[in-house]
Structure 1
Amino acid sequence: MSNASLVIANWKMNGNRALTRNMSEVLRDNQADFKGVNVVICPPYTLLSEMAGHIYYDDVALGAQNVSEYESGAHTGEVSVAMLQELGVEYVLLGHSERRAEQHESDQLVAAKAATVTQAGLTAVICVGEDKAQREADNTWSVIQAQLEKSLAGLSAKQMARVVVAYEPIWAIGTGETASPAQAQEVHAKIRGWLVENYQQVGAKTPLLYGGSVKANNAESLFSEADINGGLIGGASLNGEDFCAICRAAKG
C-alpha cells in the first residue's frame, strides 16, 4: 500500500513550450487516476509562465528549481520569491546536489533561502543526500544529519510546517542506480526520527520524498515504505506517460 501523497517533477535544464503543453494535457487526461496525490511541476524559469497558463484550472501545482535569498536589488541574474509568487509558484527546490556541486551552494546558503521561501508562505523542498564515497565509508547518516542541521538552522516551527525534505542519494541521480526500498526507508526513518526529536509534531508531519532514478517500474515498491511520502522525479518526469504512472503508484 502506498504511503505517498506528493510527487514533484524536476525538469532541470530540459524542456520547451511544447513539453509544457503536452505534459499539462497528459496530466489532465489522467488526473482522475491519482486524485488525492499532490502533483508539482518544476520547469526551468523560462517555462514557468507558460506552464502556469496550461495548468491554471487543473489540480497541479507549480514549482521553481531555485530562488535568490534576497528580496530584491542589484543581484544580476537572480530571481526573487516575489517574482515567483507573481507566477503562481507554490514550491521551491533548494539545495539540490547539482547546485551544491556546480554552483557551490553551501548549507548556510540553503538555510538563508529556506528562510526567505517559508517566510513568504511558499513550501521549501530541501534536498539532502550522500555521494558514493560517503556511502561506502558508512558516513551516509552523518552527512545527511549535518545537512539537515545546517540547512534548517533558524527555522521556526511555523516555517517548518512549510518544509519538505527530499532524500536524493547522489550516486543514484541520473545513473540508473536506485537505492533499494529498504535502503531508502532506512535513511528516511532516521530523517523522520531527527525531525521528530527537533520539531516534535511538526517534524512528524513533514513530507519525506525519495529521489534518485525513480521510474514507473520501481515507484510502487519505494512508495510502499512507511516513511517515504512521495518522490522527487528527474528524468522520468520529462515523459508524460511515465510521470503519470509514477503518480498512479503514489495513489496506490
Structure 2
Amino acid sequence: MKNKLIAANWKMNLSAVQSAELFKQCASLAQTVPSDLIICPPATYLQMGNSMLESSGVHLGAQNVNQNLAGAYTGELSASMLKDCGCAFVIIGHSERRTQFNESDEIIAAKVKAAIENSLTPILCIGESENQRTLGLTNSFLTYQIDSALSLVDKTQMKNLVIAYEPIWAIGTNKTPSIAQIQQTMTTIVKHMYKKYGENFTDSSVHMLYGGSVSDTNCQAILSLDVVDGCLVGGASLNFEKFEKICQASVKPSLVAAK
C-alpha cells in the first residue's frame, strides 16, 4: 500500500531566513507523520533545502524544469542541474506556468520526457477551467491533458509518476469542488490510467493528488477519499501550523474503489 504524499509548492514566496526556518520545521515534522513529504521551494533555495533536509526523509522538488539538456536558455534550469541540487521531484504543467508563461502541451510533454530521462519524478498538474466544468468538458479535457503530457514516454520508462488534479478555478481562490465532485473527477482519472497503463503500474507507481485551495480545514475530508493519494498544497504550506495539520490528517490510501 502506498503512503500518502503531501507536496508543498512554495511558489515565489519567502526569504532565505523564512525558508530556513520552514525547512527545519518540515524536517522535524517528517519524523512524526505517516505521509511522505515533498518540499518544492523557489530555485534559489534548493541547495539550502538539500542541506537542511538531508537524512530527514523529506524529498526535495523543483517548481519547474527546462525541456532542453543544456544550451543558451538564460534563466532556465535543466533536469540534470535539479538532480545536482538534490531534487527527486519536479512540478510540471502547473496552470500558472501554462497561462502566465504560455507553456503549450508540446512543451509540457517535452518537460515530462526530460524529467523522466533524468530520474526525476514529474508532478504532472492537470485541471479544468470553471467554464469547461460548466460545459461538461471536465473529464474529456483532463484525460486529454494526461495523454498529451505523457505522449513522448511509455510506461517502460516511467518508474514513478505523480498526477495532481488542480481545478484552475480553485487555485488560490478559497473555492474547492465538493467532496462528491472530487471523488467523481479523480475516479475518472484513475480509471483512465488503469485503462491506458494497467492497474499494476497505477497501483504501485502512480500517486494521484488533489490540489486547489487545500487547507487545514478541508484536508481531512479530501484525504479520506479512496482515490486521493495525497495533496499538492500551495498557500497553506507557507504556514507551518496549517501545513502540519494537513500532514497529520489520518488517512488510508487505496485505489481499489476506482477499479
- Name the CA distance, whole Å, in 1 between partners of 2:159 and 2:190: 14
- The Cα of 1:141 is off from its aligned counterpart by 0.8
1:152 aligned partner: 150
1:45 aligned partner: 43
Q: Which runs of 5+ in 2 are unaligned?
A: 253-259
- 1:120 is matched by which residue type in structure 2? N
- Name the CA distance, whole Å, in 2 between partners of 1:27 and 1:99: 26
SS at match of 2:115: helix
Residues paired across the two proteins, number: 249
1:59 aligned partner: 57
Distance 1:41 1:174, change over 3 A: same
- Name the CA distance, whole Å, in 1 between partners of 2:228 and 2:152: 25
2:140 aligned partner: 142
Worse overlay, 63-72 or 202-211: 202-211
Does 2:10 correspond to 1:22? no
CA offset digits 1:8-36 (Å, max 9, x no partner): 0001111121222221232234334313x
Q: Which runs of 5+ in 1 are unaligned?
A: none
SS at match of 1:62: strand
- The Cα of 1:180 is off from its aligned counterpart by 1.8
Greater RCO, 1 or 2 (C-alpha within 8 Å, sep 6+)? 1
RMSD: 1.5
Alignment check: 8 A CA contact 1:16 1:47 kept? no
Distance 1:69 1:28, change over 3 A: closer
- Name the CA distance, whole Å, in 1 between partners of 2:172 and 2:101: 18
Distance 1:237 1:145, change over 3 A: same
Alignment check: 8 A CA contact 1:7 1:233 kept? yes
- Name the CA distance, whole Å, in 1 between partners of 2:152 and 2:49: 33
1:242 aligned partner: 242
Output aligned runs, 1:108-127, within 5 Å. 108-127=106-125
CA offset digits 1:43-102 (Å, max 9, x no partner): 111111111121113111100000011111111111001111111000000000000001
- The Cα of 1:4 is off from its aligned counterpart by 6.0
2:105 aligned partner: 107
1:221 aligned partner: 221
From 165, 169, 178, give the equivalent of 1:171: 169
- Name the CA distance, whole Å, in 2 between partners of 1:62 and 1:153: 26
Alignment check: 8 A CA contact 2:8 2:38 kept? yes
SS at match of 2:213: coil
Bigger helix fraction = 1
- Name the CA distance, whole Å, in 1 between partners of 2:58 and 2:201: 24
Identity %: 38
2:257 aligned partner: none
Alignment check: 8 A CA contact 1:12 1:65 kept? yes
SS at match of 2:173: coil
1:210 aligned partner: 210
SS at match of 1:125: strand
TM-score (norm 2): 0.92
Alignment check: 8 A CA contact 1:210 1:228 kept? yes
- 1:73 is matched by which residue type in structure 2? G
Alignment check: 8 A CA contact 2:3 2:36 kept? no
Distance 1:5 1:70, change over 3 A: same
